């Protein structure tokens, strides 16, 4: 859900990590070198892009307090899954090849409010240093955007349940590159074991919007994590960037989630954040005057001039159509072509306050799709207005 609703219609190529001879070598490298790959994707996004392995375990089982890392035998992608600590401690299996098997978060584990607040502060610091607002928004949207309102059973219905931490779902074409978002957040998950992955993903997404200058999102927490990769949704539930009939495609995907035309257009406005890279997605220019100097890794093509600032520039720029250095995908352009979409797009281009109000409501709705809350009413962080 790029940039949200249409959210990322871009397929970013998920590059294989370098060969690691042992888990200890991997951990050493993670702590000793800059996260270049994370930064390369941090500012590249399409909130919703187009579109498990397991290894035999060794006899030894180790009780660890740190991160559980899961490698596929081909090393095509990397997913992080944290070991629960303290009261939720568990074991990790070390394979004969030196990799780790995934350890799932326990079911029915509501997040701790104090840890949520502390995690949010750590996310703010991460955003200041890594400029990773776009990819964190995309992470939350892709976890929630698999929801199917026609399926009642949890977690088969998809939605915000933390399933995106598993390799089988990370390998979906629409999620290419999101392993970098997991890399960025993993130390926060390690630090706050009382926060579920499902909540962490949505917390990071909402915080990124707010810290980029967007509206305060009326969030609630307490989402329960799925327990294993067998509970991940099938591939193909997220939108594409250039379908033959963009308007029909957007409605097919987002109506399935229970969203309407106003929410589709409002969420599309999050494309004000981020940029695309043709070598990863097939869309956009290698670089423009707005992206050649970063921040983060330089290059790519953005939808707006200030692509780390959340405002209504996305709608203004699409309407103006006067800057060839700004990206407009078929699913962007259709917002001013379809009669129903156009009503909202025109309004948002003229009235940022209305856009912010509608966006905040739509983002909060999206973040709750398919989630199972414990307690059922959810947890609202009592921190007052921003």
DSSP codes, 305-369: SSTTS-SSHHHHHHHH---TTS---HHHHGGGTSHHHHHHHHHHHH-HHHHHHHHHHHHHHHHHT
Q: What count of other Cβ atoms lies within 10 Å of the Cβ of residue 215?
A: 20
What pLDDT shows up at residue 48?
54
Q: How far apart are CA 285 and CA 327, in angstroms?
A: 8
- Residue 248's contacts (CB-CB under 8 Å, 6 or more residues apart) are none
3-state SS class at 285: coil
What pLDDT shows up at residue 277?
78
Phi and psi based region of residue 214 (left: phi greater than 0; alpha: psi -120 to 50; beta: remaining): beta
Q: How far apart are CA 208 and CA 153, in angstroms?
A: 31
Whether 155 contacts 164, CB under 8 Å: no
Distance of CA 228 to the CA centre of its chain: 19
Whether 93 contacts 59, CB under 8 Å: no
Whether 312 contacts 348, CB under 8 Å: yes
pLDDT confidence bin for 384, thresholds 50/70/90: low
**Chain segment 116-163, per-residue pLDDT in tens:** 999 999 999 999 999 999 999 999 999 999 999 999 999 999 999 999
Residue 164 has pLDDT above 90, yes or no: yes
Average per-residue pLDDT in the chain?
78
How large is the average pLDDT for residues 316-335?
Answer: 92
The CATH code that applies to domain 246-362 is 1.10.420.10
Higher pLDDT, 380 or 108: 380
CA atoms within 13 A on the CB side of 152: 0
Q: Report whether the peptide linkage leading into residue 18 is cis, meaning its omega lies within 30 degrees of zero.
A: no
CA R_g for the chain: 20
Whether 6 contacts 271, CB under 8 Å: yes
pLDDT confidence bin for 288, thresholds 50/70/90: very high
Q: Comparing C-alpha atoms, which of 174, 272, 173 is closest to residue 215?
A: 272
Residue 176 has pLDDT above 90, yes or no: no
249 assigned to active site: no
Q: What is the pTM of this model?
A: 0.74
What percent of the chain shows pLDDT beyond 90?
A: 61
Which residue among 142, 172, 249, 271 is the active-site one? 142
What pLDDT shows up at residue 280?
67
pLDDT confidence bin for 343, thresholds 50/70/90: very high
Kindly state the DSSP code that residue 206 receives in the 8-state scheme. Answer: H
What is the DSSP pairing of strand 301-302 with strand 275-276?
antiparallel
How large is the average pLDDT for residues 317-344?
Answer: 94
Burial class (CB in 10 A: 0-12, 13-18, 19+), 153: exposed
Whether 208 contacts 130, CB under 8 Å: no
Q: Which two tokens stand for residue 177?
A: 């590159």
What is the DSSP pairing of strand 275-276 with strand 91-95?
unpaired
The CATH code that applies to domain 113-231 is 1.10.520.10
Q: Which two tokens stand for residue 353?
A: 């306050």
What pLDDT shows up at residue 330?
92
Q: Which residue has the tokens 């035998």?
A: 73
Q: Where are the domains of the chain?
A: 113-231, 246-362
């Amino acid at each position: 859900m790029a940039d949200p609703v249409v959210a990322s219609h871009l397929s970013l190529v998920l590059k294989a990590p370098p060969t690691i001879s042992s888990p200890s070598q991997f951990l050493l490298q993670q702590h000793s070198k800059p996260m270049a790959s994370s930064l390369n994707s941090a500012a590249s996004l399409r909130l919703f892009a187009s579109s498990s392995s397991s290894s035999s375990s060794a006899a030894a089982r180790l009780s660890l307090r740190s991160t559980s890392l899961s490698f596929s035998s081909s090393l095509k992608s990397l997913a992080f899954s944290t070991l629960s600590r303290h009261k939720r401690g568990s074991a990790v299996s070390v394979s004969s090849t030196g990799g780790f098997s995934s350890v799932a978060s326990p079911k029915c584990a509501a997040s701790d409010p104090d840890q949520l607040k502390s995690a949010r502060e750590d996310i703010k610091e991460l955003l200041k240093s890594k400029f990773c607002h776009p990819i964190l928004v995309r992470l939350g949207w892709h976890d929630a955007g698999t929801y199917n309102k026609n399926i009642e059973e949890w977690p088969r219905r998809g939605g915000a349940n933390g399933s995106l931490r598993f390799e089988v779902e990370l390998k979906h074409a629409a999620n290419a590159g999101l392993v970098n978002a997991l890399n960025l957040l993993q130390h926060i998950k390690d630090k706050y074991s009382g926060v579920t992955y499902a909540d962490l993903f949505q917390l990071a997404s909402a915080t990124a919007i707010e810290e980029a200058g967007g509206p305060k999102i009326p969030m609630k927490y307490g989402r329960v994590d799925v327990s294993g990769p067998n509970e991940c949704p099938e591939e193909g539930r997220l939108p594409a960037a250039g379908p033959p009939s963009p308007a029909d495609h957007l409605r097919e995907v987002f109506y399935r989630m229970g969203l309407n035309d106003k929410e589709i257009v409002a969420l599309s406005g999050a494309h004000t954040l981020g940029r695309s890279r043709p070598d990863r997605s097939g869309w956009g220019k290698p670089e423009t005057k707005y992206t050649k100097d970063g921040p983060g890794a330089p290059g790519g093509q953005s939808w707006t001039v200030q692509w780390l600032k959340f405002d209504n520039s996305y709608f203004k720029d699409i309407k103006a159509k006067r800057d060839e250095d700004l990206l407009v995908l078929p699913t962007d352009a259709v917002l001013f072509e379809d009669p129903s979409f156009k009503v909202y797009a025109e309004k948002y281009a003229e009235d940022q306050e209305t856009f912010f109000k509608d966006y905040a409501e739509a983002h909060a709705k999206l973040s709750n799709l398919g989630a199972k809350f414990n307690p059922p009413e959810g947890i609202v962080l009592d921190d007052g207005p921003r």
